[in-house]
Amino acid sequence: MRSVALRHFGNAEDDSTDSNNNGIIEIDNANTDIETSQSDVNATPLKFNRSQFEGLLAYNAAVRTHSAKSNRSTKAFKRSYLDTDDDAADLTRIQEKLRNLELESRKIKPATPLKFQDSVFLERLNKELELQDQKLAELRLKDTAKKDSFPSLSGEAEEVVNKALNPRQNPSIPVVSGFNVDLMPHDLKTLSPATWLNDEIINFYGQLLMERSNRNPTGLYPKIHFFNTFFYTTLRDHGYDRVKRWSKKFDLFALDYVVIPVHLGMHWCCSVINFRDKRIEYYDSLRGDNQTLFRLYRDYLASESLDKKKCVFDFQGWTDYCPKDVPGQLNGFDCGVFTCMYAEYRSRNADFDFAQKFMPFIRRRMIYEICMKKLCVD
C-alpha cells in the first residue's frame, strides 16, 4: 500500500496556468493507497488539463448520486464531460481510485491541504461528526442515569423504616427531631403506601436538601435555598410584604436555585427559580400549567431586587419553563412524593430518572433518609 500522488501544475485560485505545464494535473497511479493490479502499477501516469480534471471530478460526483442510470445515459454523460475517447477509456480505472482517494483522505493530517475534496464530501464529514457528538451525548445521559439510579435499602435500613411505621408507637413521642422540627408518628405514616404527604414531611425533606448543599461548599452541588410550603400561598394571597423577611438572612441572588413547593389545595407541585439558566421552572406530575405562578415570581424578583439590592432586576434573557415530558403520576395520592423528587433532582442538577413504578420504594427510602437526617444520594 502506497500514498496517493496528486500533482496540480498551475494556479488553483484562477484560470491562469504555468507556461511550462499548461495547467496539467497528474495522477500517479503507480503510487497509490488502494489495492491495484500489476497492470495498474506499471501503467503510465494519467494527465489531464485543468478543465478535464474538473470535468472528471464532476462526473465522479454525479455517478455517485445517479448510479442507477442506464448504460446509454452514462455513455452520453461521459461524452459531455470528457474531450476524447481515450479519456473515457481511462475513466473506469480512475473513477474507482478517486472514490477510494476520497475515503483515504480522512487519514490525512489537518495541516495537509485537501485540494481535491468537494463540498459534498465535506458535508458528509460534518454529518458524521454530528452523529458522533449525538452518540456521545446519549452515552453521557446513560452514565448520568446510572449514577442517579436508586440504591437498594440494606437490611438495617429496612429495620429503621419498619420501626418508624410501627403502629404501636406512642403517638405523642416524636419519631425524629431536627431543624427545629419534631416529626410525629402520624407525619411519617403519610409516607405509607397510597397516602398523601403532609407539609411537615415535605418541609423536613427540603431541609435535608439544603443541608446537603451547605455541607458541600466546593461546588459539588448547586447553592440552593428551600422555601417552605407556606411561601407560595402567602405570596399569592398577601403579597411581597408578607414574605420579604423570609430572605433576610441570605442573599437570594447569590444562589443557583431557589426551590419552592407549591400547594394547590388538593395537589402538590414543585417550582424553581433558576438563577443559573435565567428561568422560572414549574414541575407538575399531572403536567399542568400555572401562569399565575410565573407572574407572581417575576413580581417577587422585581420587589426583592428593589428591597435588598436597591436596583431594578434585569429580566433580559429570563424565560418561563413548564416541561410536559417529566415523570408523571398515575394515581391521586403520589403528587407529594413526585414534588420531593423534582426538588431533590433539581437541587443536584440531575436528570429525572424516576417514575411512577418506583414510588413505593421511594417512599420507604424517604422514611429512612428522614430518620437518618441524611440523603442516600449524598
pLDDT of residue 102: 62
Give 103's pLDDT tier (boundaries 50, 70, 90).
Answer: low
Residue 236: pLDDT above 80? yes
Question: Could you give the percent of the chain with pLDDT greater than 70?
Answer: 61
Report how far apart the first and last C-alpha atoms of the chain are (Å, whole number).
57
Angle at 149 between CA 146 and CA 152, to 5 degrees: 130
pLDDT of 76 above 90? no
Note the pTM of the prediction, 2 decimals.
Answer: 0.62
In sign, the C-alpha dihedral spanning 194, 196, 202, 204 is: negative
Please state, for a pLDDT cut of 90, what percent of the chain lies above it. 57
> Which cell numbers hold the place of 162?
419498619
pLDDT at 290 over 80: yes
What CATH class is the domain 152-372? alpha beta
Report which of residues 243 and 217 the model is more confident about: 243
155-207 pLDDT tens trace = 999 999 999 999 999 999 999 999 999 999 999 999 999 999 999 999 999 99
Give catalytic residue positions.
267, 284, 335
Mean pLDDT, the chain, whole residue set: 79
